[in-house]
Structure 1
Amino acid sequence: MRRVVVGAVAAVVAAGCALAPQLLGRDPLPVLRNDAGWRSRSVLAPASLGDRLVDPVAEAVWLADGTVPASGARSRVAAQALGDLHALTLPNGAVAAGPDGPWAYAWPRDSAFVAAAFAETGHVDDARRVLGFLARVQLPDGGFEARYRLDGSGPPDDRPRQTDGAGWVLWSLDRVRAASADRVLPTALRALRDRAFAFAVAQTDSGRRLPEVSPDYWEVSERRVTLGTAAPPAAGLESASRTYAAEGDTRRAGLAARAASRLRALIRAEFGPDYERHGHSGGLDAAVAMLMPPFAATDDAAAERAWARYPVLALRSAGGLAPGVDWKSDGVSWTPETAMVAYTAAASGHPLVADHWMTWLSHHCTSWGSLPEKVLPDGSPAGPAPLAWTAALVVLTEGELAAHRAGVGDPVVVSVGG
């Protein structure tokens, strides 16, 4: 009897310890969800033994067909990231956000960045394949669901739509266009562009209003429009203007440019000068980077100052960044947000800042070299690894830094006023 009572007490204590973080309002720290064998065991693994044996050779050939935009110690990390993106991409163009569980779906946001990374490393056909998948799942109004099953059969649940998808797709299409030999958007992708453009115009009334309330990259319910929802359509409209101009369609290029200009002015009025998550509340978050190059010209000194403050205020004990200043104080660093700061620093003429964050990311890979979603306070990786969005941002950042070292690329517009 005594043994039963002791066992029952121990069970209650154990249950209480397990519940303690929730009772105290804190979630337990995440763990690393997978290991180096993810390619052979995940839902993305080749179906047959023969394919599994050939796959490493095929990947090496694929990498050799493009470029790894890094040098020195970080070249291995960039090559791993690019190879991971290849492994996360199915033959139908669907890109899994991560190798397992709730990450094994295709988010339009992640896919857009992966397509840009493919295009800018010489894998333009792969970029077009990813965008082709998005064209097939695009909704009739030109927008997208939050995420899709990898077979393209639709969303896996009733999660609310995320209105940023169309903006990111328009931005990605322009990056793919710029990487194409003729600098014109392929004909097969123009319907995707036209529908996404129509959606962005309708959502913002040609830039006269903010898009409707929806979850953004934080993946939480929202009651007010966030900066992470408002900024992507502005970037998308500007990108659409460039793709239309490249085709000689001056009418739609002008419509897109004017809508983008109005929306930029509205974002400044509603979110500036502090650019917090909900305008004047919610704290700074990584969405402020979406107001920087390559998503926008640096013609807003207040936005640039907010972008510079965000990493200082969102710094975590392991040296990376939280998604926002008001994010829970668990000490966990998130790699996509950290990589977003690196990317925008590289694109806006701050290579030393970009190098700092890229070095941090390279020092916090998994033991097999993939970039994880999170880094714990003690510096160990956590969450799924690789994460497609982080891997794509790392590849894109290294590309920007390589262009800076070579002295090529588009000039950066630097603001001089307040």
Structure 2
Amino acid sequence: MLQVTPRRRGLLAITAGCLAVVAAATTALDDAVPAHVPPGAVASPDDAVVALYQDGVEILADGSVRPLPAGSGVTYLAGSRVVDPGGPGAVAGRPLADPGPDAGLRGAVLARAETSAAWLAGGRLPGAGTRFAALGESALLDLRALVLDGGAAVAGIEPHWRYVWPRDASFAAVALARTGHVGDAVEVLEFLASVQHDDGTFEARYLPDASGVPDDRAAQADGAGWALWAVDEVVAATARDDGPASAPSAAEVRARLSGLTTRSTDAVLALVATPDGLPPASPDYWEVSAPELTLGTAAPLLAGLEASSRTHAAWHDDAGAERAAAGAARLRTGIETTFGSAGYPREISGGPSDAATAFALPPFQPTPLRGADDAWRASVTDMLRPAGGLAPGGSWRRDGISWTPQTALYALTAASTGDRDQALHWLGWIDEHRTASGAIPEKVLADGSPAAVAPLAWTSALVVIALDELDR
């Protein structure tokens, strides 16, 4: 999850060992950077140094999840995030999942890994049969580990990320649904329904026990839009006949998610019931105050209304479908007239581009907004950072740090719009910058070192969805 305010952790040295590139080379794909991706930005003495707070996650015999210290480089039991008892017994002086002489505990550890492997086998592995098979499996297993009991999809296990952002949770639900784990996806969305306000709006983030919010951070209007997009993806996954027999039926999905859908649709329609069809300003994924409307708020709300129209149509609710479609048409016109005429900048008044340009394209919109594809391609130049990844936008601080959520977002958009070469480029970059234990970090420093929290739910979900798009 993006945090603009620097963490008060000090500038610690990166302790991670060499990066592990775990992907299996099972296909011969071109690794060359596509011609439309500019060369990397130049490193600067002002480049920031951020610690790698954790190397990955470990699932214990009792099912609880804890972080691995930076530089762990552990080996997991097949198909799981359970550390191999026969592997390293300690990291940084702290014992890992070593059952010791207790045969019962050893059996519990192995049983936990077997349960995970069975879960993995019960769905579809994104990127199977390609050089990204290991990346896809790792991202999906990390995502599963970040979905706690009760469907709380936390952004990360480290305390400062151990919250549920509606945006991140929605992407997690889509990734789970697309890989055949529809039941898990529904639980994630049910958690969102349980914390949603009666008027359909969401706070910025929630405590994982659904007891409330952790602070007085301002609400973010995009949450209702992302929830609607996720519901539509779950409904579409339910309609496919290639899922496990245990998956909930279409009728059950509707019964469990109709309240979330109705409230969220009402909330978005209320926001865009303005003369120009545009919502008011709201903080977005940048997690900062927003004195004026941003594309990062407007485009997700449009995606939500488009998705709501499809969901209501699938549920044979013609009136609901038409109502959402009418709101979407007005909002689309408003975005194209304002943001589009200026080249899709971050803010409605103009200025530098933003990674939210991707939200104006598939898979979030059924058809690209007018001029959005050109703007999306052009945005890479200002967002590129020295290590080869992307920053959240052209006006983001020049600290040399690449952000994996935005880089993975561009991989997804490229895959969804048919630009396979660029999708492979961005996915390859992410694969090359994982931690020693194979997790995708939130950030990558100018020298290529992984930094901040690992894994991050949003990035893991984006990678899974991007690989699924390439598989189609």
- Number of residue pairs matched by the alignment: 379
The CA distance in 2 between the partners of 1:218 and 1:114, in whole Å, is 19
The CA distance in 2 between the partners of 1:210 and 1:301, in whole Å, is 17
Does the alignment pair 1:97 with 2:155?
Answer: yes
1:68 — aligned with what? 125
1:204 — aligned with what? 272
Q: Partner letter of residue 217 of structure 2?
A: R
The Cα offsets for residues 143-165 of structure 1, whole Å up to 9 and x where unpaired, read as 11100001010111111100000
1:166 — aligned with what? 224
Does the alignment pair 1:336 with 2:394?
Answer: no
Does the alignment pair 1:367 with 2:436?
Answer: yes
Does the alignment pair 1:55 with 2:112?
Answer: yes
Shift of 1:230: 0.8
The CA distance in 2 between the partners of 1:44 and 1:213, in whole Å, is 37
The Cα offsets for residues 178-199 of structure 1, whole Å up to 9 and x where unpaired, read as 0004667521110110000000
Q: SS in structure 1 opposite 2:209? A: coil
Does the alignment pair 1:31 with 2:51?
Answer: yes
The CA distance in 1 between the partners of 2:234 and 2:449, in whole Å, is 35
Q: 1:203 to 1:298 in 2, by over 3 A?
A: same
* Residues 187-266 of structure 1 aligned to structure 2 (within 5 Å): 187-205=255-273, 208-266=276-334
The CA distance in 1 between the partners of 2:439 and 2:110, in whole Å, is 21
2:209 — aligned with what? 151
Give % identity.
47
Gaps of 5+ in 2: 1-9, 12-45, 67-81, 83-96, 100-104, 240-248
Say if 1:113 and 1:392, in contact at 8 Å, map to a contact too: yes
1:130 — aligned with what? 188
Q: 1:222 to 1:167 in 2, by over 3 A?
A: same
Q: Partner letter of residue 116 of structure 1?
A: V
The CA distance in 2 between the partners of 1:40 and 1:155, in whole Å, is 27
Q: Partner letter of residue 376 of structure 2?
A: W
The CA distance in 2 between the partners of 1:400 and 1:269, in whole Å, is 30
The Cα offsets for residues 230-270 of structure 1, whole Å up to 9 and x where unpaired, read as 11110000100001111111111011111101001001122
Per mean C-alpha deviation after superposition, the further-off stretch among 245-254 and 181-190 is 181-190
Say if 1:207 and 1:262, in contact at 8 Å, map to a contact too: no
The CA distance in 2 between the partners of 1:226 and 1:278, in whole Å, is 4
Q: 1:141 to 1:33 in 2, by over 3 A?
A: same
Does the alignment pair 1:296 with 2:365?
Answer: yes
| Structure with larger RCO (C-alpha < 8 A, sep 6+) | 2
Q: SS in structure 2 opposite 1:72? A: coil
Q: 1:43 to 1:202 in 2, by over 3 A?
A: farther
Q: 1:53 to 1:161 in 2, by over 3 A?
A: farther
Q: 2:200 aligns with which of 126, 142, 145?
A: 142
Q: 1:125 to 1:96 in 2, by over 3 A?
A: same
Per mean C-alpha deviation after superposition, the further-off stretch among 255-264 and 309-318 is 309-318
Say if 2:405 and 2:442, in contact at 8 Å, map to a contact too: yes
Q: Partner letter of residue 346 of structure 2?
A: R
TM-score normalized with structure 2 length = 0.76
1:377 — aligned with what? 446
Q: SS in structure 1 opposite 2:131? A: helix
Q: Partner letter of residue 203 of structure 1?
A: L
Q: SS in structure 2 opposite 1:225? A: coil
Say if 1:82 and 1:392, in contact at 8 Å, map to a contact too: yes
Say if 1:317 and 1:377, in contact at 8 Å, map to a contact too: yes
Shift of 1:279: 2.3
The CA distance in 2 between the partners of 1:219 and 1:55, in whole Å, is 36
Q: Partner letter of residue 104 of structure 1?
A: R
RMSD: 2.2
Q: Partner letter of residue 57 of structure 1?
A: E
The CA distance in 1 between the partners of 2:337 and 2:57, in whole Å, is 49
Say if 1:38 and 1:99, in contact at 8 Å, map to a contact too: no
Whose helix fraction is larger, Structure 1's or Structure 2's? 1
Say if 2:57 and 2:145, in contact at 8 Å, map to a contact too: no
2:141 — aligned with what? 83
Q: SS in structure 1 opposite 2:463? A: helix
Shift of 1:39: 4.3
The Cα offsets for residues 72-121 of structure 1, whole Å up to 9 and x where unpaired, read as 22111110100001100012000110111211000000000000000000
Q: Partner letter of residue 109 of structure 1?
A: R
Say if 2:344 and 2:375, in contact at 8 Å, map to a contact too: yes
2:30 — aligned with what? none
Q: 1:335 to 1:37 in 2, by over 3 A?
A: closer
Say if 1:298 and 1:304, in contact at 8 Å, map to a contact too: no
The CA distance in 2 between the partners of 1:31 and 1:298, in whole Å, is 40
Q: SS in structure 2 opposite 1:180? A: helix
Shift of 1:29: 2.2
Shift of 1:398: 0.3
The CA distance in 2 between the partners of 1:55 and 1:222, in whole Å, is 45
Q: 1:269 to 1:375 in 2, by over 3 A?
A: same
1:271 — aligned with what? 339
Q: 1:329 to 1:61 in 2, by over 3 A?
A: same
The CA distance in 2 between the partners of 1:111 and 1:202, in whole Å, is 23
The CA distance in 2 between the partners of 1:300 and 1:134, in whole Å, is 28
The CA distance in 2 between the partners of 1:313 and 1:123, in whole Å, is 37
Say if 2:56 and 2:455, in contact at 8 Å, map to a contact too: no
The CA distance in 2 between the partners of 1:268 and 1:37, in whole Å, is 42
The CA distance in 1 between the partners of 2:191 and 2:314, in whole Å, is 24
Shift of 1:207: 8.5
